[in-house]
Structure 1
Amino acid sequence: MTITIQIIQFVIIISILVILHEFGHFLPARYFKTKVEKFYLFFDWKFSLFKKKIGETEYGIGWLPLGGYVKIAGMIDESMDTEQMKEPPKPWEFRSKPAWQRLIIMLGGVTVNFLLAWFVYSMLLFNNGDTYIPADSLKYGILVDSVGEQLGLRTGDKILAVDGKKTKTFRDAVLQIILGDEVTVEREGQELVIPLSDEGKATVFKLQGRNFLSYRQKAIVDSVIPKSAALKAGIMSGDEIVGVNGKPVDYWDQLTGLISSSPNGRMNIEVNRNNAKTNVELVVPEEGKIGIYPSIEDLRVTDTYGFFESIPAGFKRTIKVLTDQVRQFKVIFNTKTEAYKQVKGPIGIVEMMSPTWDWTFFWSFLAMFSVWLAFVNLLPIPALDGGHVMFLLYEIISGRPPSQKVLETGQIIGFVFILGLMAIIFGNDIWNIIKRFL
């Protein structure tokens, strides 16, 4: 059932984004009296699952779920309808329109993607506010594992800035550390600038960033598992553990480190309970866990937004997401980080979906992915919107359009490049699944 919910969420998100993106091309095309021959969700190579002609446009659903398209008359696109281009230009064709109108038509899709993300982020902030852990309110500093240490961080560090800029939220600080070049921390009362190593980032990406950076907590027990060694020894919810076998304990990671390294060992645990100290004894089970959970300090704050406040805040969030995605390319194309190995295709993205239906996650992911589609489509690669924009800008600046041969060749090269890239990404998804069973 979980995988079904994940697939349904992914298909609905992709369908919404594709339809609205293509509508962004369709609307200005029709406004400028340009004929749109087809409007398709997914690709209909050889055949379609559904089609219906309304007016001069055929609307349909293809069988190949790799996006969608609008076929605009008189335009060299993924249909590669070169026969149409051999005929004299018609007034209703794309090639007959002024360059500035063609530019607006080609920018329509990414514009809608951006506006959609802005709208969704604004409404999420208006309805839910923005709940986060401030990066500068971690009383006991950060908690890192061996991967975080490879990056140059240490447990107890307090993050002051990344690449010289303060971060508002702890979540953003984690992302900026992955994307950044250096982090400024406070360590044992000194301010240090730590270069972030590419080797450390490679390990972060290899492990997909799992728990390499968290925040430190006091050794206070929130709950005790029934029938566990801790319950049998008399440990209770609310207890603060201050010592183990005569060694002082301040933080939860110190406690779990001592317990996990002492399977089958006898422990004398000093507990502070209601401002009175007491001692309990137990034998650590073979798995190195005694059955207690930490008390999570609620460091979270929520910023609330009125309707009119949410609009600029939503715009700011959209720009930030776009900026972070642009910065990711720097990391992805750095061979030392090997981040390219973690690029996910449809299979990997489905696994990122929430296992239960969560509307906040749904709309947040849709907004993020809408920004991503806008950015990717603007890349100056023939066969993408950005490729068409590149040729149109050349025409506007130079005063003469590229030849039809150049446009056709560019479209073919771009299409082959995209198909090759998709094959690599799909292969990477499949290989990541296979590795789990090796």
Structure 2
Amino acid sequence: MFIKIAQLFLSLTILVTLHEFGHFWFAKKFKCRVDKFYLFFDFLFPFANVMNFPLFKKKIGDTEYGIGWFPFGGYVQIAGMVDEQMDKSIINSEPQPWELRSKPAWQRLLVMMGGIIVNFVVGILIFWMVLFIWGKTTLPITNLSHGLMVDSTAISMGLRNGDYITSLDGNPVKSVHRIPVEIIMNRVEKIEGVHADGTKFSIPVSDDHRALILKRLKKSLFVNERFIAKVKEVDSTSFASNANMKPGDLFLAVNDIPVKYYDELKTQLNLNKSTKVKLTLLRGTDTIQTSCSVSEKGIIGFVPEETEPTKFVETKYSFAGAFVQGVKDGMEMIIMQAKQLVVIFTVKEAHKQVGGFYTMVQQMAPVWDWHSFWTFTAFLSLALAFMNFLPIPMLDGGYIMFILWEMITRKKVSDKFIYYANNVGLIIVLALMIYANTDWLRN
């Protein structure tokens, strides 16, 4: 867990610093005075006047650079920027030449878009480098030897273990792991494929089905590659170890009931929770039998041998090719963010699946893996760009909305209105943060 938290912390630290640098650079470019540039908050967020002290600070020119004690976010304090922390007495004063509010609308627009622009560019650059160094690994549906293993939601819809899903709404399936995401985000209405016995199927997908898939997605993959019941590793303190199971063992039967695939094995173990079962195993060329206890959760304590490495397709990219694919992946990620927002408001109970830091920690690799780290950081950078672009007062998108209104109507939104709107926006954002970060309680 520590490694997961450390990876998320480093990723956010990098992205927040670069985001704030985007605002800082444009502010300096247009000769605005920047009073502070801080990584983390030097106050008890969101209370700007409570426990004000930095861990480190150094003033260079007009700007105080520092590290706050509250390990969350960061900020730049630009002179004349109307926000929820601004002294009300300044609002009614005459704008000074070094203040942001005295600058032309197009300059203020670029200052407020600075963080979003940097996050977008950084996300694309990271995708570019990840693809150039590591390439891309996918599991095509055509590479499955035994079809798909499906969860209880898929079974309730009419899918079976061993099925091959060939298309979604007539569009060919390219990757196994994209199937549930495509169904939810693209509001797929029909799943087509072939059962293990060769008969074709066409299964309708309702809003209730999409809601069930989304609800289960954190705990189950909906569909995954079906694989042989084979032992990869044995927990030394487990029932499997006590039963003398070894890596490489193949399961043949449980209580004389034949099993070949992992899903068949799990079914039998779940039917025999908190009991002892007779296992028939194939070890090399020898068939052996052993007695093994099953926990109350249907677990015996081994790691199965899942996807065979040869089934994955690795695509390598040239320097230029990686850039083109990186831009494509980045744009798809932005579109996916927009679709997720639509899903929250259109799919039944989708809002309950909104996650916060706990959910993000769970997505990190359990060991420090640079490929996984940078891929997640690229995704998070683009997610931050999208979220900050939302027209909510206090967020960058709120300022952008007010400035665009001014540029279109030629009427400047009053500083007083922006000040109070930002305070309302702060309450909205805090409420959303609290809701998102209590997902572990809701689920």
| TM-score of the two chains, using structure 1 as the length reference | 0.84
Q: Secondary structure at the match of 2:85?
A: coil
Q: 1:99 aligns with which of 105, 127, 130?
A: 105
| Equivalent pair of 2:158/2:203 in contact (CA under 8 Å) | no
Paired with 2:220 and 2:393, the residues of 1 have a C-alpha distance of 37
Q: Which moved more, 1:314-323 or 1:198-207?
A: 198-207
The aligned counterpart of 2:380 is: 369
Identify the residue that residue 17 of structure 1 maps to in structure 2.
15
Q: Choose from 68, 79, 85 the match for 1:79.
A: 85
Distance 2:134 2:172 in 1: 24
Alignment of 1:145-224 (within 5 A): 145-182=151-188, 183-188=190-195, 189-198=199-208, 201-202=211-212, 204-205=214-215, 208-218=218-228
Q: Residues 87, 151 of structure 1: CA spacing in aligned structure 2 closer, same or farther, 3 A cutoff? A: farther
Give the match for residue 320 of structure 1.
Answer: 332
1:165 CA drift (Å): 3.4
Distance 1:195 1:156 in 2: 19
Kindly indicate whether the alpha-carbon contact (under 8 Å) linking 1:177 and 1:196 is maintained by their aligned counterparts in 2. no
Show the counterpart of 2:147.
141
Number of residue pairs matched?
424
1:37 aligns to 2:48 (yes or no): no
- Report 1:19-418 matches (<5 A): 19-44=17-42, 45-46=48-49, 47-49=52-54, 50-182=56-188, 183-188=190-195, 189-198=199-208, 201-202=211-212, 204-205=214-215, 208-218=218-228, 237=248, 241=252, 251-258=261-268, 261=271, 264=276, 283=291, 285-287=293-295, 293-294=304-305, 296-298=307-309, 299-334=311-346, 336=348, 338-418=349-429
Shift of 1:21: 0.4
Q: Which amino acid aligns with 2:319?
A: F
Moved more, 10-19 or 325-334: 325-334
Does the 8 A contact of 2:39 with 2:66 survive in 1?
yes
Distance 1:164 1:397, change over 3 A: farther
- SS of the counterpart of 1:421? helix
Moved more, 385-394 or 341-350: 341-350
Distance 1:218 1:428 in 2: 35
Gapped runs of 5+ residues in structure 2?
A: 43-47
In terms of mean alpha carbon deviation, does 339-348 or 16-25 score higher?
A: 339-348
Tell me how far 1:293 sits from its aligned partner: 4.1
**Identity of aligned pairs, percent?**
38
Distance 1:63 1:334, change over 3 A: farther
SS at match of 2:432: helix
Structure 2 distance, partners of 1:137, 1:204, is: 26
How many Å apart are 1:175 and its aligned residue? 2.2
The residue type paired with residue 34 of structure 1 is C
Q: Kindly tell me: are residues 209 and 333 of structure 1, through their superposed partners in 2, closer, same or farther at Cα, counting changes over 3 Å?
A: farther
Instruction: Give the superposed CA RMSD.
Output: 3.4
Deviations 1:251-294 (A, max 9, x none): 44334434654654557x697987xxx86655564557597944
User: Which has the larger displacement, 293-302 or 387-396?
Assistant: 293-302
Normalised by the length of structure 2, the TM-score is: 0.83
Give the secondary structure class of the aligned counterpart of 1:136.
helix
List runs of 5+ in structure 1 lacking aligned partners.
none
Q: 1:128: Cα distance to partner?
A: 0.8
